[in-house]
Amino acid sequence: MQKKDVIAITGAAGFIGSYLTSFLNKLGYQQLVLVDDFSKEKKTPNLLGKKFLHKVHREQFFDWFANHPGTVQYMFHLGAHTDTTEMDYAVHKKWNLDYSRSIWELCTNNNIPLVYASSAATYGAGEHGYSDNHELVNKLEPLNPYGVSKNNFDKWVLEQKHTPPSWAGVKFFNVYGPNEYHKARMASVIFHAYNQIKSGGKVKLFRSHNPSYKDGEQMRDFIYVQDVVSICTWLMENQPANGLYNVGTGKARTFLDLVRAIFHTLQIPEKIEFIDTPEDIRDKYQYFTEADMTKLLKAGYDKPFHSLEEGVKEYISQYLAEGKHY
């Protein structure tokens, strides 16, 4: 990518999309076309101070593109319906499958390299492991309609004979960091735990309903958003082999590790209370996720990841404590 190239980003007002926008700005990329539903006021602060060419509503993007032929050289498709508690598959299908197919076809027909967001939710309970090997995709059994929609798009992509000149589907694991203020219930556990501790001096964690895990020892591959966009940008700049790529740290950590890092950063004594996992998500709950990062590392990505403690400290001290955005 050259600094003068025009890069389109869907989901640009959201958590990862707005962070990517700022990250690219800091690398010198300012010719950005931001695509999203900009009517949601809680997302407005995410884009304050960002440099870009155009803001285009997601519903109008394809018409805009048709009226600006040859304008866009690269595409990051991060826009999605991400509410894992939304059980109406039709809502997920519209944005995560149908819209994504249209983006794919646009990139294919116009020779535009594409990086698109998949999800670790595709792995379901992890009964087939967490490898981004394409042979596994048809075996995966996601636990909710969001994961199903993401996996259905991955499956569709792998069937396509006509593709963008370069493409990568990035399977995000548990991403946390600045610019998620608007996400409400779907914000990271770190965001919620920080606010609980600040308001009441204690944090509530879900009790384990699985005899294989003690309370608080459920594990996730938590990855700092800076590492996520670093990987996305690297994939676009280096264009390794086309395919699906896990985006995690490759090291699962417990929720107890996470909240202890928050207490340590705030220099407050630990006070942890366990509550039942809500029944509407209990049977869909993942007790362990850990990205197999072999493929990305073999492709040449060699930047170190933030440890959970490093990421939590930066997120709290530089952003949450002052209500700042990146």
Reply yes or no on whether 214 is catalytic: no
Reply yes or no on whether 183 is catalytic: yes
294 close to 224: Cβ distance less than 8 angstroms: no
121 close to 150: Cβ distance less than 8 angstroms: yes
**CA torsion through residues 47, 101, 111, 303, sign:** positive
Among the options 146, 194, 315, 319, which is catalytic? 146
Alpha-carbon distance of 285 to 133, in angstroms, equals 23
143 close to 136: Cβ distance less than 8 angstroms: no
Which tokens go with 41?
């006021």
Helix axes 255-266, 189-200, angle to 10 degrees: 50
Alpha-carbon distance of 132 to 143, in angstroms, equals 18
315 close to 178: Cβ distance less than 8 angstroms: yes
Among the options 55, 93, 155, 183, which is catalytic? 183
List residues with catalytic annotation: 146, 183
